[in-house]
Amino acid sequence: MSVKDTKEVVMIDDDDDDEYQVTENDEIAAIDYELQQIESELQILQDRKKILTQRKEKLRDDALLKKSFSLSKKNWDNEDFDWSARLRKSLKDVFKIEKLRELQLPTMNAIMSKEDVILIMPTGGGKSLCYQLPAVISKGITIVVSPLVSLMEDQLHGLHKLHVKTTMLCGKADKESVKMTMNALVDKNSDLKLIYVTPEYMAKSNRFMNKLQKAYELGRLERFAIDEVHCCSQWGHDFRPDYKFLGVLKSMFPGIPILGLTATAPAKIIVDVQKMLDISGCLVLRASFNRPNLYYEVRRKPADKETCLAMMENLLKNRFGGKSGIIYTTTIKDAEQLTTDLRDRGIKVGCYHAMLEAEYRSEVYSKWMSGKYQAVIATIAFGLGIDKPDVRFVIHHCVSKSMENFYQESGRAGRDGKKSVSIVLYRLADVFKLSTMVFQDKVGLQNLYKVLTYCLDQTSCRRSLIATHFEETWNASDCVEMCDHCRKPGVGKEIDVAQYCRQLYQIMTKAVQNETRLTALKLVDAWYSKGASSLRVSNVPVPRFARETAEAIIGHLLVNGYLQEDFHFSAYSTISYLKRGPKSGLALNNDHKILFNYELH
């Protein structure tokens, strides 16, 4: 073969190679397309599987709820029981109360009848009286399990003023007090009525459980009251591992009734709690969630600190001038800083959190109760069991961790039934600050994203959103303009944000190529062609709408699974980055729509 022939062969080979390359690229593109289609179909099947699984669980749970409902058909709301006269007399003579509130009498009658009961009643509804009054007229001892020492101290203080013999057991209880309590449990002549105990103490103290068994054998044990009973459930917003220990009570003390109390809990959690405490199908009494005297409002929290402070100063001096309130923050540092900042603006406020000395906390509390302080700036632990009826406003300086938390915290306003206000200051950055605190909880992010959804909604009645969460039927017209949306209806418009989602994916792809992780702030900066130039994508147009709208779109994509948080530990903190979510396969399909009811501006 000549040199010329060889060259021709090589050239032919090259041509074949090019031809092969083109075919190969086409095939890869076809495979990619098919994989994308499969991804979309898988996502649809996954969503369907999720819906069917939830429906199956709901049907099972409904069977238990029906059992509870049949028990509730008995008329517990009457005064022809053996103890009715004593109950009425002690209500007036000891507690100085003339009239019982909704569900208090049925709860007390059922628990005195040795029935297990779960009572769901809003904060300030009078749950504690449901075990305190039966305890006073019973011969033996009522054990009250409570998660917060501050709550127990507050109730002890109140009962001692009424001359009801009460004591408390927790990690910080002194030896003499513990000894007296242990002896009283087995002393037939003791007039001790209630023992408050933390679940941690109960789970760890063999001595206490031993005395409890002896008290049971002597017929001295009347009932268990478990406060914040939703903490038993891993699906709850405040799961506490030591609450799991309470599952032994039914087998250890057969015949001793259990009263579970909570301000908020959906049916799924109530069923879970019943199973865990071995009281499945017990009587469940649920008061309405609605607080007709509370006005609900969500405001955009200014990113600029001084602007935010000016807004709060205006609220406290004008709209709430001379009125008492609570301002909730997320961290101790935030509470202290906000207290300093507002004092600098001439507002009389006190700071309250767990790390302060007990004496100082009491002083702040007293000044607030007496009106010397207009508001208490506190972390969310503050307020449980606090009975100040004239709280006219609750301001959330940062969003709550869950709808349950929000409902409880906002419900500390207006306990006297008079008109009061709940304001949430919402900002997306605060959501990511909280997510790093809750992401390790089983349902921490899920709960937080429900609050984010509540804040992002521009048109729905706030009460209807709360009702949907708590599985109550609600007619928006019943709100009577007691929320910002019903008072001034919004004009939201359903828009398709899928194109924006794909643009954000492009920015994320470039960041991955540069081996860079994106926080929400960096993602928005790159979208607006700001920040590091290496993260900007030239063919992604700068949005024509405001930055807060961009944040709302990111929030919407996050709660709907098109984006997801990616947590990384640094030496001093946990950082939340954003990445594509489980529904990214759907979003990449140009025909897919992501609808968002939001007014672009």
Question: pLDDT tens across 211-231, in order?
Answer: 999 999 999 999 999 998 888
pLDDT of the residue at 572: 85
Residue-number span of the structural domain to which 2 is assigned:
1-68
| CATH number of the domain residue 245 falls in | 3.40.50.300
Same domain, 119 and 48: no
Q: Are 381 and 410 spatial neighbours (Cβ–Cβ below 8 Å)?
A: no
Domain endpoint, select from 459, 487, 515:
487
Q: What value does the mean pLDDT of the chain take? A: 88
Q: Which of the two residues, 565 and 415, has the higher pLDDT score?
A: 565
pLDDT of the residue at 5: 45
pLDDT of the residue at 157: 85
Answer whether residue 253 shows pLDDT above 50.
Answer: yes
Domain endpoint, select from 68, 85, 114:
68
**Nearest Cα to 215, choosing from 253, 255, 166?**
253
Same domain, 306 and 428: yes
pLDDT of the residue at 305: 94
Domain endpoint, select from 266, 286, 306:
286
Q: Which of the two residues, 174 and 434, has the higher pLDDT score?
A: 434
CA distances from 366 to 59, 206, 359, 361, 391 (A): 50, 38, 11, 9, 14
Answer whether residue 297 shows pLDDT above 80.
Answer: yes
Answer whether residue 12 shows pLDDT above 50.
Answer: no
Cα 24 to Cα 27: distance, rounded to the nearest angstrom: 5
| CATH number of the domain residue 555 falls in | 1.10.10.10
Same domain, 135 and 151: yes
Q: Each residue of 98-155: pLDDT tens digit?
A: 999 889 999 999 999 999 999 998 777 789 999 999 999 999 999 999 987 877 888 8
Look up the pTM and report it.
0.76
Confidence category of residue 170, pLDDT binned at 50, 70, 90: confident
Q: Pseudo-torsion of CA 319, 322, 328, 333, nearest 10°? A: 110
Average confidence (pLDDT) over 537-565: 95
Inter-axis angle of helices 206-217 and 175-185, to 10 degrees? 20
Q: DSSP 3-state assignment of 584?
A: helix
Q: Please state which of the ranges 53-62, 362-371, 535-544 shows the lowest mean pLDDT.
A: 53-62
Answer whether residue 2 shows pLDDT above 50.
Answer: no
Which residues are paired to 262 by β-bridges? 120
Q: Please state which of the ranges 292-306, 349-363, 518-532 shows the lowest mean pLDDT.
A: 349-363
Which position has the token pair 């004593």?
A: 86
Domain count, the chain: 4
CA-based R_g, the chain, Å: 30
Q: Which of the two residues, 27 and 259, has the higher pLDDT score?
A: 259
Same domain, 328 and 436: yes
Same domain, 21 and 92: no
Q: How many other β-carbons are positioned within 10 Å of the β-carbon of residue 52?
A: 10
pLDDT of the residue at 496: 95
Retrieve residue 88's tokens. 């009425």
Same domain, 99 and 240: yes
